[in-house]
Amino acid sequence: MRSYATLLMILCYILCTEKLYTACRLLYSDCVMVDDSGTVASTKKTQPIVLAIHGGAGTIRRGSMTPEREAEYRHALAEALNTGYAVLKRGGTALDAVSAAVVVLEDSPLFNAGRGAVLTADGTVELDAAIMDGKTLKAGAVASVRGIKNPVLLARKVMEHTPHVMLVGLGAQRFAREQGVQIVHDKYFITKSQRRELERMQRDNKPSDNKPNSKQSMDEFPRPSSRGQVQPDTVQIGKTRAYYRKIRSGMLRSVYIEERQHNQKFGTVGAVALDMFGNLAAATSTGGMANKRYGRVGDAPIIGAGTYANNATCAVSATGHGEYFIRNVVAHDIAALVEYKGLPLQRAASEVVMRKLVECGGVGGVIAVDALGTIAMPFNSEGMYRGYINADGQMYVGIYRDGE
């Protein structure tokens, strides 16, 4: 085919039929790269395929993890990577890949999504998830759903079979039944470790909705500074107003974030992918914050906050303290820095996670990939369960900050 296309292109060039020459040049460039002079430059490169995943961020310390437990986490992350990457390898779409990877993480009791989701203050499980197609900008999300084995699959049903973006609560569950999405008993989600965690939190009287107790006046709560410094969500017992004034001035920002991270693990799961067609996709799923009340919903199902994908920029899935990710529209902010400021993906992701979030007290991280196959995985917490298979087919799985 190349020889015939080359001969036809030369004849057209000699005969000065510009339109036909251009058509033949395009035909030829499907086989090889052609420079502006019409000469062969190099063999056309194969479109890269890339997959990255996360299993949550927070206070994840090597010293507090047994070798056996660490091996379980690494195996689960590798399984999710292999499952999603296999989809890409056989020509599947980025949407199919992120769905497959997240389903593996949802089915694992190790992560705060699906099977291992944390419990609400009432001892139930309320799940959130979102998915987004970078090619079409279509998205689907569900929030505060119960009994849905794999919320990410329900979110995709919302995207593909409704004119809406988000369905919540009972309405979403009714839609799930109509769509034949697998529904399981509440007991499926409630593990012994999650029950113990809820009992511990309630014993320590630390509801994660950060509501002040009746003995605290609202005047005790620090107000935002004009410079947008850290604004704690709650006053901790034994802390003085002077302590919080120092936080607002930036003097104790790192100390405050460290204390916020203690005993916290933001166990969202997510995946981002680039497929052989050059399309991006992102998906995120979570059980939210342990001991949450009042139907609290975090950033995971909020398009632009915890989940975002756009072929023109990047695909992002976030994990962390959701309220901060929502306020800072983290996922879209990264994409905006790429699109409008022209920042490389890694620099854009670090700008948001390592500077903007830190300045306002937000803890967590993101995974992101762009159309070139560049991967970014910044996090400002002590650890983040994460992994990727890059454009060269190389796999990486990480947990800690200390270079593994």
Q: How far is CA 320 from CA 141, 189, 314, 347, 352, in A?
A: 18, 21, 19, 19, 13
3-state helix/strand/coil string of the chain:
CHHHHHHHHHHHHHCCCHHHHHHHHHHHHCCEEECCCCCEEEECCCCCCEEEEEEEEECCCHHHCCHHHHHHHHHHHHHHHHHHHHHHHCCCCHHHHHHHHHHHHHHCCCCCCHHHCCCCCCCCCCEEEEEEECCCCCEEEEEEECCECCHHHHHHHHHHHCCCCEEEHHHHHHHHHHHCCCECCHHHCCCHHHHHHHHHHHHCCCCCCCCCCCCCCHHHCCCCCCCCCCCCCCCCCCCCHHHHHHHHHCCCHHHHHHHHHCCCEECCEEEEEECCCCCEEEEEEECCCCCCCCCCCCCCCCECCCEEECCCCEEEEEEECHHHHHHCCHHHHHHHHHHHCCCCHHHHHHHHHHHHHHHHCCCEEEEEEECCCCEECCECCCEEEEEEECCCCCEEEEEECCCC
- Supply 234's token pair: 């709650």
- Closest among 372, 377, 269, 260 to 321, alpha carbons compared: 260
Q: Answer whether 144's CB lies under 8 Å from 94's CB.
A: no
- Supply 373's token pair: 């196959």
- Closest among 83, 134, 156 to 332, alpha carbons compared: 134
- Supply 177's token pair: 């039944």
Residues recognised as catalytic: 268
